[in-house]
Amino acid sequence: MRQAQVLGDKEVKRVLGAISKRSYCTRDRAMFMLSLLAGMRVGEIAALRVSDVYESVGMVKDQIRLSKEQTKGGEARTVLLNAQVQAELTTYSFSLPRKGQEPLFVSKWGKQMSPNSLVQVFGRFYKQAGLSNASSHSGRRSFITQLAHKGVNVRVLAALAGHKNISTTQRYIELNENVLRTAVELM
């Protein structure tokens, strides 16, 4: 099975450019950034409620506590939000008429988006960006790969990704000649 494309800076700029031309650009950008900057799965993003992300006063939380019903593995987990994704979610909040337990992301008809509908949305903006090998998993895979390339321990990566086994996490990490060359130069 072919793995989702890992996005570099150039591809991320292309995706953000494509998203900026879309009808629901603020929503789509927030969903993309949760995948890219927090490593969330599309199913987890689709399951989010407003209260999962925002305090009652409208401030973005610094972490999202996902219930076991919201995760793939059926175990609750915490997703940490860095300053950049918090800023993205703050921007999204200005266009958010919903609150409390209502879905964070909805379709143009105002209905909660399913994981499958998010897969389709991601596919459309990747196609518009000219990325034929990218999928809804590309943001998550990029998150893990970029942290690995920055020297983050695989056990930490597994915890951030919500993986029980580090061998699962290791499959996400893309290796290339530059990474290998940097490694041997450490000697």
Query: What is the rounded distance in angstroms from the CA atom of residue 136 to the CA atom of residue 16?
Result: 14
Residue with the two structure tokens 């060359």 = 181
pLDDT of residue 146: 94
Percent of the chain with pLDDT over 90: 74
Question: Are the C-beta atoms of residues 35 and 139 closer than 8 Å to each other?
Answer: yes
- Which residues sit opposite 60 in a β-bridge? 54
Give the pLDDT score at 1.
57
- Tell me, what's the pLDDT at 10? 97
Measured distance CA(84)–CA(187) in Å, rounded: 34
Q: Which residues of the chain have pLDDT under 70?
A: 1
* Cα(41)–Cα(172) distance, integer angstroms: 13
pLDDT value at residue 24: 94
Asked if residue 40 lies in contact with residue 137, where contact means CB atoms within 8 angstroms, the answer is no
